[in-house]
């Protein structure tokens, strides 16, 4: 049985002023979660569960979740 990666990404970041989870940080526009999930897939994880707030679900799925759904079993918890 492959392990599951839990990604806690619920916060909007009131001091930051937006969804910090979707702002690019890498040289090709990668976001921090890209690095975490890439490493998890290489380490043998078989599922990722994003722990998010229900009110950001649609934006999160469009900007982040769909990037991984074809590469790893992806679920959401609220």
Domains defined along the chain, listed by start = 4-77 (3.90.550.10)
54 CB-near residues (< 8 Å, 6+ apart): 78
- Per-residue pLDDT of 18-58, as tens digits, reads 667 677 889 998 988 899 899 999 999 999 998 888 888 89
10 pLDDT band, cuts 50/70/90, is low
- Whether residue 11 has pLDDT greater than 70: no
SS3 content of the chain, % helix, strand, coil (to 5): 35, 20, 45
Tokens 């990604």 found at? 7
Asked if residue 49 lies in contact with residue 43, where contact means CB atoms within 8 angstroms, the answer is no
**Helices vs strands, H then E, count in the chain:** 3, 3
């Amino acid at each position: 049985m492959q392990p599951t990666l839990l990604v806690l990404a619920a916060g909007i970041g009131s001091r930051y002023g937006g969804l910090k989870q979707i702002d690019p940080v890498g040289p090709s526009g990668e976001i921090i979660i890209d690095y975490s999930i890439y490493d998890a897939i290489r380490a043998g994880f078989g599922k990722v569960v994003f722990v998010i707030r229900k009110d950001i679900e649609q934006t999160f799925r469009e900007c982040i979740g769909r990037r991984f759904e074809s590469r790893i079993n992806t679920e959401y918890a609220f």
